[in-house]
């Protein structure tokens, strides 16, 4: 009998607001802009739910700090590149099976609240 696939749980990091140099225009290369990041980590939280131990979960505080460190030194042209780098940081944690990253750039388009990209990456994309 074939075993049913394991359904993964999720950890969310919602609306992480950062300021960074991002864009292709001169003023975007000079002045920091707001970027909003949303992350969904797909993990198995069964053991953590039983043991109540951080060792059995994902340290999302560390992930957030690693993302902030990346952004502090970054000056990407595209939000696509920023999203990709964030996904790779998340996948560095061995407990993360896959990740969905959304990066919004408010004010990037006239008459729109933001422009955004959303990517999904897994261990096989490393």
- CATH code (residue 103): 3.30.1130.10
Q: Domain range for residue 76?
A: 9-125
User: Is 64 labeled as catalytic in the residue annotation?
Assistant: no
Catalytic residue among 32, 64, 105, 123: 105
Give the three-state DSSP class for 58: coil
- Running DSSP on this structure, what letter comes out for residue 116? E
**Cβ–Cβ under 8 Å, residues 56 and 48:** yes
Residue 1 lies in a domain: no
Q: Is the pLDDT of residue 82 over 70?
A: yes
User: pLDDT per residue over 34-66, tens digit each?
Assistant: 999 999 999 999 999 999 999 999 999 999 999
Q: Is the pLDDT of residue 1 over 60?
A: no
Residue 26 lies in a domain: yes
Residue 4 lies in a domain: no
Residue 3 lies in a domain: no
User: How many structural domains is the chain composed of?
Assistant: 1
Left, alpha or beta for 35 (phi > 0: left; psi -120 to 50: alpha)?
beta
Residue 117 lies in a domain: yes
């Amino acid at each position: 009998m074939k075993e049913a696939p394991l359904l993964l749980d999720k950890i969310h990091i919602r609306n992480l607001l950062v300021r960074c140099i991002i864009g292709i225009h001169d003023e975007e290369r000079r002045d920091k802009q707001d970027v909003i990041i949303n992350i969904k980590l797909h993990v198995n939280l069964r053991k953590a739910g039983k043991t109540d131990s951080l060792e059995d979960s994902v340290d999302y505080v560390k992930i957030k700090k690693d993302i902030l460190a990346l952004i502090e030194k970054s000056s990407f042209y595209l939000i696509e590149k920023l999203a990709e780098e964030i996904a790779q940081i998340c996948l560095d944690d061995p407990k993360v099976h896959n990740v969905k990253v959304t990066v919004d750039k408010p004010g990037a388009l006239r008459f729109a609240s933001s422009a955004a990209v959303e990517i999904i990456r897994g261990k096989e994309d490393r």
